[in-house]
Chains A and B, each alone.
Chain A
Amino acid sequence: MISVKSQKGYRLRLAGPPSAELVALDSPTHIAVLPEHIPFVKPRLKIQVEDSVQVGTVLFEDKRNPDVRFLSPAGGRISDIRFGDRRVIQQIVIRRDLSESFLEFEAVPEKALDGMQPEQLIEILLKGGMWALLRQLPFRDYPPPGSTPPAVFVTIGNLQPFHPHSKVFLRGNEGLFRYGIKILQKLAHGPIFVAAHQSDYQTISTLNDLVTHVYSGDYPAHDAGILVYRTRKDAGNNRSWYIDGQDLLLMAELVKSGKYPTQRVVVVAGNLAAEKKHFRTRMGSPVRHLLNDHPDKGNPRHIAGGVFSGYPVDADGYLGPFESSLTILPDGRGQELLALFRPGYRKPSYSRAFLSAVNPGDFQMDCNRHGGIRACIGCNHCTEVCPVDILPQLTYKSILADAIEEALTHGLLDCVECGLCSYVCPSKIDLFPTLKNAKAAYYREQGRG
Chain B
Amino acid sequence: MNTLKRFFDSQRGHFLKGGRFERYYPFFESMESIFFAPAEITETGPYVRDSLDVKRYMLLVIVALLPHLFFGIYNAGYQSHLSSGLSLSFFPVVLKGLWIVMPLVIVSYTVGFFWEIVFAVVRKHPISEGLFVSAMLFPLILPPTLPLWQAALGISFGIVIGKEIFGGTGRNFLNPALTGRAFLYFAYPAQNSGDVWTVISGTAAKAVDAFTGATPLAISAATESGSVHQALTREGYTLSKLFFGLYPDSIGASSTLLCIVGAAFLILLGIASYRIILGDIIGVLGMGLLLNALSAEGSLPYLSLNPFYHLLMGGTAFGIAYMTTDPVSAPDMNAAKWVYGIAIGVLTVLIRVFNPAFPEGIMLAILFMNIFAPLLDHIAVRMNLRRRVPNV
Contact = CB atoms under 8 A, between A and B. Distances in A.
B236 interface: no
A234 B51 contact: no
Contacts of A12: 48
Contact of B39 (A344, A368, A410): A368
B269 interface: yes
B1 interface: yes
Given A312-B47, A352-B270, A369-B49, A374 B388 contact: no
A284 to B, nearest CB: 22
A374 B332 contact: no
B392 A350 contact: no
A370 B389 contact: no
A353 B37 contact: no
Interface residue range, chain B: 35 or more
Contacts of B49: 368-371, 422-423, 425, 428
Given A235-B389, A307-B46, A329-B48, A393 B38 contact: no
Nearest to B332: A378
Contacts of B390: 235, 409
B209 interface: no
Interface string B273-284: 000000000000
Contacts of A233: 389
A379 interface: yes
A376 interface: yes
Given A307-B48, A371-B52, 7 more contacts: A351-B50, A369-B41, A374-B170, A375-B168, A378-B170, A419-B46, A427-B53
A96 interface: no
A73 B117 CA distance: 58
Interface stretch (A99-107, A256-264, A330-338): A330-338
Majority SS of interface residues in chain B?
loop
B37 A336 contact: yes
User: 7 tightest CB-CB pairs across the interface, nearest first?
Assistant: A371-B53, A375-B170, A339-B37, A347-B51, A419-B46, A335-B36, A336-B37
Interface in B15-41: 29, 33-41
Interface in A270-306: 301, 303
B330 interface: yes
B209 to A, nearest CB: 49
Contact of B327 (A138, A301, A336, A378): A378
Given A423-B48, A426-B52, A368 B37 contact: yes
B167 interface: yes
Contacts of A347: 51
A370 B33 CA distance: 11
Nearest to A375: B170
A303 B146 CA distance: 58
Interface of B: 1, 5, 29, 33-42, 44-57, 59-60, 126, 128-130, 167-171, 268-271, 327-328, 330, 332-334, 381, 384-385, 388-392
Given A372-B33, A378-B330, A433 B45 contact: yes
A116 interface: no
Interface of A: 12, 14, 138, 232-235, 238, 301, 303, 307-312, 329, 331-341, 344, 347-354, 356, 365-380, 383, 389, 391, 393-394, 408-411, 413-414, 419-420, 422-428, 430, 432-433
Contact of A332 (B29, B41, B55, B391): B41
Nearest to A10: B50
A426 B391 contact: no
A290 to B, nearest CB: 18
A270 to B, nearest CB: 10
Nearest to A371: B53
A421 to B, nearest CB: 9
B218 to A, nearest CB: 35
B132 to A, nearest CB: 11
B38 A371 contact: yes
Contact of A349 (B47, B51, B333): B51
Contacts of B45: 308-311, 419, 422, 432-433
A367 B169 contact: no
